[in-house]
């Protein structure tokens, strides 16, 4: 490892994930998509996948970089000299048919449930790509891209598939024997970390408030539910929810009519679903969410870039406000949720918890000390929008159903909901929680109720 090319030190936000990884607090993110290749793709699928991976490794230098010293205060990115694609890329034949309608993809969920409890080991790449095929038609397949969170945020997973789709299209004229298994790494530098290109300023009142809560007094609301105290080990439970295209479209239209967003409605629906099954003494749930900061990083970082550039936001939901009319969706709470997000966006990265990370000297010690303590958040929502490139040209590969999911966070929220819509028009939710954070029956009931809430809100 000492002989590998050193690229740059990990930034504070990257270190947050590199520290969680060896401690077993959080392992990875995944974005999955089902593809359909036109009849003009006549070679074995493996050839096209390998050629597309070669293209992406050349485009995205983070794919050939791994962090070293994750369990130290001096974490660096180093470059692997080459990537043997047989290490991170694997092919599996389905034992069940592709799911129809709003059926969950059971095989994909089984894989991701295991993956979200499994870390990475140097000197192998810190990403994995699983290809699910079926005997009857190899040109239809599902690609699950699983990656270390320090190498990318959710938007990076979407960018992987967008560029993978383009690379597949460019490979249509591939000849037999042209695809390579051993790919030399590019010489291009890593893209900068968030803190290197954005000041993430903190005002004095914001810092004073943080200091007061940390050192003086920070009472916990006795009605706040956040699941079990933080504990190890991390074993993931995962469920996929697929909202059919017609319902998803109706929900988007209803959100526009109600002057809110899918994110605002989703957060409100989750809060309602939780209160439907929590004891009456639980009167408050706390949200944490992620917002992409790419919009403020003009020039160097785009939606096609791969790296981790996010800030967080928070919101809280009260039982009385969310459940006052069990038969009517509380659109006023969904509008309030949207307003919270817009206030964070208007600050353009100022006064965030991510901005405080630059003051953390030792992430390992900070995170270790959290074990056995109460969580601060009830649920997390990450919505990365839509993965639907132009699909009007029949000569190009197509993307259908998608799924965004991630490890539960041992030191974070009890329930994690990751949202993405695909080329099939369906809104897909990857919902994860740590086994033992709450009763399994409770969490499954919450998910079932969430589905009903979203269907009801769309009407």
Least-confidence region, from 153-157, 216-220, 292-296, 416-420: 216-220
Domain boundaries, the chain: 5-174, 217-383+407-458
CATH topology of domain 5-174: Chloramphenicol Acetyltransferase (3.30.559)
Helix (H) or strand (E) holding 77: strand 76-79
Express each pLDDT in 137-155 by its tens digit.
Answer: 889 999 999 999 999 999 9
DSSP conformation letters of 158-194: HHHHHHHHHHHHHTTT--TT---SEEEPP-PPPPPPH
Burial of 416 (0-12, 13-18, 19+ CB in 10 A): buried
Q: What is the pLDDT of residue 217?
A: 83
- Domain boundaries 217-383+407-458, CATH class: alpha beta
Q: What is the pLDDT of residue 300?
A: 83
b (16+ CB within 10 A) / e for 272-287: bbbbbbbeeebbbbbb
**Topology match between the domains 5-174 and 217-383+407-458:** yes
Per the CB < 8 A criterion, the answer to whether 229 and 375 are in contact is yes
**Parallel, antiparallel, or unpaired: how do β-strands 5-9 and 76-79 relate?**
antiparallel
CA 319 to centroid of chain Cα atoms:
28
Residue 147 corresponds to which tokens in the numbers above? 């990656």
Express each pLDDT in 193-228 by its tens digit.
Answer: 999 999 999 999 999 999 888 888 888 999 999 999
Please provide residue 56's backbone torsions phi and psi, each rounded to the nearest 5 degrees: -70, -40
What is the percent of the chain where pLDDT is above 70?
100
């Amino acid at each position: 490892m000492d002989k590998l090319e050193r690229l740059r030190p990990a930034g504070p936000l990257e270190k947050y994930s590199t520290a969680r990884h060896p401690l077993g607090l959080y392992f990875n993110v995944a974005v999955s998509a089902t593809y359909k290749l036109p009849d003009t793709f006549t070679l074995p699928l493996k050839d096209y996948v390998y050629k597309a991976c070669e293209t992406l490794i050349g485009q995205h230098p983070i794919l050939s970089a791994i962090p070293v010293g994750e369990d130290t205060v001096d974490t660096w990115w180093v470059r692997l000299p080459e990537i043997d694609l047989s290490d991170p890329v694997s092919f599996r034949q389905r034992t069940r048919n592709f799911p129809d309608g709003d059926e969950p993809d059971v095989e994909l969920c089984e894989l991701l449930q295991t993956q979200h409890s499994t870390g990475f080991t140097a000197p192998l790449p810190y990403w994995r790509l699983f290809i699910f095929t079926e005997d009857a038609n190899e040109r239809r397949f599902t690609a699950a891209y699983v990656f270390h969170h320090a190498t990318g945020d959710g938007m990076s997973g979407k960018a992987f598939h967008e560029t993978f789709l383009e690379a597949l299209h460019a490979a249509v004229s591939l000849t037999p024997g042209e695809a390579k298994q051993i790919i030399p790494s590019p010489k291009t530098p890593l893209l900068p970390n968030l803190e290197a290109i954005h000041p993430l300023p903190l005002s004095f009142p914001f810092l004073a408030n943080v200091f007061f809560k940390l050192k003086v007094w920070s009472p916990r609301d006795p009605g706040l539910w956040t699941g079990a105290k933080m504990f190890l080990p991390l074993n993931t439970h995962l469920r996929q929810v697929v909202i059919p295209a017609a319902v998803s479209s109706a929900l988007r239209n209803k959100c526009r009519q109600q002057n809110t967003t899918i994110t605002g409605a989703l957060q409100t629906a989750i809060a309602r679903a939780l209160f439907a099954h929590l004891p009456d003494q639980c009167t408050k749930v706390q949200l944490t969410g992620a917002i992409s900061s790419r919009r403020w990083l003009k020039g160097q970082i785009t939606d096609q870039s791969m790296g981790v550039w996010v800030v967080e936001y928070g919101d809280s939901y009260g039982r009385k406000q969310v459940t006052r009319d069990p038969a009517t969706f509380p659109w006023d709470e969904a509008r309030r949720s949207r307003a919270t997000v817009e206030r964070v966006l208007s600050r353009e990265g100022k006064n965030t918890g991510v901005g405080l990370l630059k003051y953390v000297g030792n992430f390992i010690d900070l995170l270790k000390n959290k074990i056995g303590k109460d969580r601060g958040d009830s649920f997390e929502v990450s919505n990365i929008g839509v993965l639907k490139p132009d699909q009007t040209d029949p000569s190009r590969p197509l993307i259908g159903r998608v799924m965004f999911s991630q490890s539960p966070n041992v030191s974070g929220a009890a329930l994690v909901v990751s949202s993405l819509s695909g080329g099939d028009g369906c809104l897909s939710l990857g919902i994860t929680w740590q086994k033992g954070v709450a009763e399994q029956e409770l969490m499954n009931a919450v998910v079932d109720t969430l589905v009903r809430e979203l269907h009801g809100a769309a009407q």
